[in-house]
Structure 1
Amino acid sequence: MKHSAFNQAFMKLFTLITLCFIAFGFTGNLGLDTYEVYLNDKLILKHSVNQPLSLRTLQLDKATADDQLRIIYTHCMVKGAGTDRSLAIKNEKGTMLKKWDFANASGSNLSMTIPVKELLKIEKANADHDLRLYYAARELPKGEMLALIQTDQKSIAGNK
């Protein structure tokens, strides 16, 4: 009788362990897409895509026309840069104002660089609109809004 009770308990434990392996063995590689935005070499924004919604704003009021905006977007599933990457500036209605396409990353340099002077031109031509920075890639075809862009033209003009 003791032998039968032991076998039943062993079978239940074995079944539970097997079900756990099956359930957790086929889940995807969970993680977060993250991105960092640098003004030249200074980090000005870092965010994980599924963090609680917050107002992500790029403050470019201290930027000069000679500065560079550098974005590094890391996909969790590929553990690196996406392929067929692009950045775009859109207005609040979703109209694309400018798009930059980037080569697939090779080596350790995953960054995409935009000259600030191009952002200033777009902002000046669309002063009555809110501008948003978007990222898209083959791994993220619908794209992701990274941030609202805020500049202060007077302070930037003074920095030229």
Structure 2
Amino acid sequence: MKAQIKKASVLLMLAISLFSFSSLPGGEGFEVYLNNKVIMQRFGNQLNNPQTIQLSEANPNDELRIKYHHCGQPGKNRILTIKDSQDKILKEIRFADADKPVSDMACKVKDIISLKKGNNNVFKLHYRSSELPNGRLLATILAGSQRNATQP
């Protein structure tokens, strides 16, 4: 009898230990797509390390889509902002409030390429919403050849 109680206690402790490591749904992060192909994903600690998106080979009619994850909550007052290397706002794109936890925000590559002036081929893509009022730098966008780019 004591052996069975001891065995049951060990199994119970093991089960509790295993369930304590299961992940909960949600989490903050984002994905960037070029024509339905994932070209960047950032979650958790990676959010503070933006990467560069190379658009020099992209077709002007290609579509860039961003999916931002707000810990399982729908995003409200969503805005994508494109800035130049001096952080001057060049374009803001506003999106309707999301009705589900992850909703696309899309723009055409030509809308970004059209912002090029002279040798300034480098842009910064920022995201802001009610859930993230201070915004976040998602990526640097290189819209021309690297040798002609002005770095931020």
TM-score, with length taken from structure 1: 0.67
State the alpha-carbon separation in 2 of the partners of residues 72 and 30 from structure 1.
Answer: 16
Percent sequence identity over aligned pairs: 36
Q: Match for 1:56 among 51, 55, 71?
A: 51
Q: Is this contact kept in 2: 1:32–1:50, CA < 8 A?
A: no
Q: Is this contact kept in 2: 1:68–1:114, CA < 8 A?
A: yes
Q: 1:135 to 1:48 in 2, by over 3 A?
A: same
Aligned residue for 1:6? none
Decide which structure has the larger Cα Rg and report it.
1
Q: 1:93 to 1:65 in 2, by over 3 A?
A: same
Q: 1:31 to 1:108 in 2, by over 3 A?
A: closer
Counterpart of 1:50, as a letter, is N
> Which blocks of at least 5 consecutive residues in structure 2 are unaligned?
1-23, 146-152
Matched, 1:142 2:134: yes
Residue range with higher mean Cα deviation, 143-152 or 48-57: 48-57
TM-score, with length taken from structure 2: 0.71
Q: Is this contact kept in 1: 2:81–2:93, CA < 8 A?
A: yes
State the alpha-carbon separation in 1 of the partners of residues 51 and 25 from structure 2.
Answer: 24
> Which blocks of at least 5 consecutive residues in structure 1 are unaligned?
1-28, 154-160
Runs of 4+ in 1 over 4 A off after TM superposition: none
Counterpart of 2:112, as a letter, is L
Aligned residue for 1:130? 122
